[in-house]
A = this chain, B = another copy of it.
Amino acid sequence: MAKDADSREKTLSAAVKLFSQRGYHGTVLQDILDAGGAPRGSLYFHFPKGKEQIGEAAVQLGTDGVRQFITDAAQTSGNVQAFLVKLARGMAASLERSGYREGCPVATTALETAAQSDVLGRAARTAFQTWEQEIKRALISFGMTANQADRTATAVLSQLEGALLLARTYRSLEPMQRAEKALLVLGREALK
């Protein structure tokens, strides 16, 4: 049972990486098996509905990872500015660590499948909404009203997602550094 859970976990971690690197459609089940090291039978056991079910679970795993990252950034920051800088630098560092191969764990699948799959579209919506909520909660804890925090959280997430797209494509951290400065402007303005 523990072994089963372990092979499910390995499969999903591999799927998150591969979907992020080359997209949902660009990844075939054999790639996930090769990268995750789980036997084919275990894949069918854990994901009887096939690739779409793996995609959904991978988006959920990516959602949890980024939510945890946002929570940690909030808990280790003393004010809005420190929190926003941590978001931008943490994402930049993780993009750089992956050799510019992995940006947002959800964005690629979201863009490919939003208009095609209800299941994956819903999972991607939940991902972005979860992160917006988590950013909003942090902004409120640093003194914003719910209304300010609501609008600002959307702009902060958009700024980070767009900058990750540019930074990944350019293979350069400069868009993330400029996003960091933009986030500070947006945070300061919201608190006025």
- Chain A interface residues toward B at CB < 8 A: 21-26, 99-101, 103, 107-108, 110-116, 121, 124-125, 128-129, 151, 154-155, 157-163, 165-166, 168-171, 174-175, 178-179, 181-182, 185-186, 189
Chief secondary structure at chain A's binding surface: helix
Contacts of A124 in B (CB 8 A): 169
Number of identical monomers bound together in the oligomeric complex: 2
Chain B: CB-nearest residue to A124: B169
Question: What 8 A-B pairs are tightest by C-beta distance, nearest first?
Answer: A162-B162, A158-B162, A161-B162, A23-B112, A25-B25, A25-B26, A155-B182, A108-B111
Residue from the list B161, B170, B175, B181 in contact with A165, Cβ < 8 A: B161
Min CB distance A170 to B, Å, is 6
How far is it, in angstroms, between the C-alpha of A162 and the C-alpha of B100 when the chains are bound?
18
Which of A100, A111, A124 has the largest number of chain B CB atoms within 10 A?
A111
Chain B: CB-nearest residue to A127: B169
Residue from the list B21, B128, B185 in contact with A189, Cβ < 8 A: B185
How far is it, in angstroms, between the C-alpha of A154 and the C-alpha of B170 when the chains are bound?
12
Contacts of A155 in B (CB 8 A): 159, 163, 178-179, 181-182
Contacts of A116 in B (CB 8 A): 21-22, 26
Contacts of A129 in B (CB 8 A): 170
